[in-house]
Chain A
Amino acid sequence: MGSGTAVAPEPRRPRSKASPEAALIEVKDLTKVYGEGESTVHALRGVSLSVYHGEFVAIMGPSGSGKSTFMHLLGCLDRPTSGSYRLGGQEVSGLTRDQLAAIRSRQIGFVFQSFNLLSRTSALENVELPMLYAGIPLKERVDRSRVLLEQVGLGQRMDHRPNELSGGQQQRVAIARALANGAPFLMADEPTGNLDSASSEEIMTLFRHLNKDKGITVIVVTHAQDIASWAERIVTFRDGLIIDDRRARRTEASS
């Protein structure tokens, strides 16, 4: 890494008094109900799940299974109707919008299917974005962004704009952005849905690297079996409930 002064932030460990074995994510009896009266939809009907530091989890299920709703709740983008969600030891199910924004800022890194990079904005500035909201000073923002882009293999393309990058490269910018504030876990929603198989493999390899070498917890939501097979643990949803939760047999040679 070229820059001597800047160091990419290490993933945050929970500061609670919890023992090292305490779960990063601890969900109990989570429900989510949309609408009222006859149009009521029970998207989640009581889900319990624990995810530990350093796990690589795939969440699967057909559309309408509740996996997207569950992902939104895990990502602190939405609040459950009932149940408990502890993230890093902190109960977050009852927080306000702005408090949830603060949690997202520091604890969660999002990777989206459609990358969601700001157009006409350089890769470097895209990576800076979360740090703007976290109030990081300019110099540190730029230094960190450079280190992160080098980590994802885009050290030579920092000034490129999204339309000057391939899909795989754009998704790597998005991953660098997700890591900007040192979040302990990455939440990826169909991260390879818009990519060809070669790029998909690159991205999944990058996730595995971040998981194995940096200790970052990765949760990937997907409906593709071959993507899920990169994970160590596959959680399957159907009709708003977890119907399967198992350790996967590694199908790929570890990189």
Chain B
Amino acid sequence: MRRVFVIVTVALFALVFWRLIDAYSELQALRPLAQYYVVQGPIELGAPNIVTGILITYRGFDTLGEVAVLFMVAASVGLLLKSESTATATEAATEAEADDDSVPRRQPGEIVRTGMQVLLPMILTFGAYVIVNGHLSAGGGFQGGAIVASGAMLMLLARPGAALNVALLSVVESFAGVIYVMIGILGLVLAGGFLDARFLPRGEFGAFFSAGAIPLISALLGVKVGAELSVIIDRFRS
């Protein structure tokens, strides 16, 4: 009976989606807003990567909110998992039984350990590269931060006993957030509005130091996202 309902629901959704696909015709030219961003974005901001320009300047306030969401998730995951681990710790201490939770953690294999030593510097370097080149080519704070966090995850897999310095990461992350907001206020004072990146010189188009404050904001975002994701990964490990 339930299966029939499931099939009917999925079929109805498939119908909706099919009508959407059927009625969609591929764009032949840019929409007016996109037209403005593509034409004016590089001229106004001096950033070759238009997506980064939109994310960090035109929709910078959104990005700030997004980072706030990530922060709240890190906090709530910590809250959810912390009380659980203390509750089960007392429980496990009283029961002291050997169910599948309390078997000692299996040591990582040779390949993971050696691979970590070879790959970790490269992953972190690549993450830093992606973060600081966000205004020039594909990449940016979020993407680079995720790469850095994947490096942290590999490290935690290869060395299960290692403890991530969560307190330090939280401090780094908070400072990145504070500086991010202060740059936004600087934009409000010195340029056109909150998070306007044009208060620094635009520089030569396509050069590494160019596009106003966009690389700076990108780097801060990268630090913040990397630290937050690493903290989330570490919380899940415990």
Whether A and B are associated in the same complex: the answer reads no
List residues of A whose CB falls within 8 A of some B CB.
none
List residues of B whose CB falls within 8 A of some A CB.
none
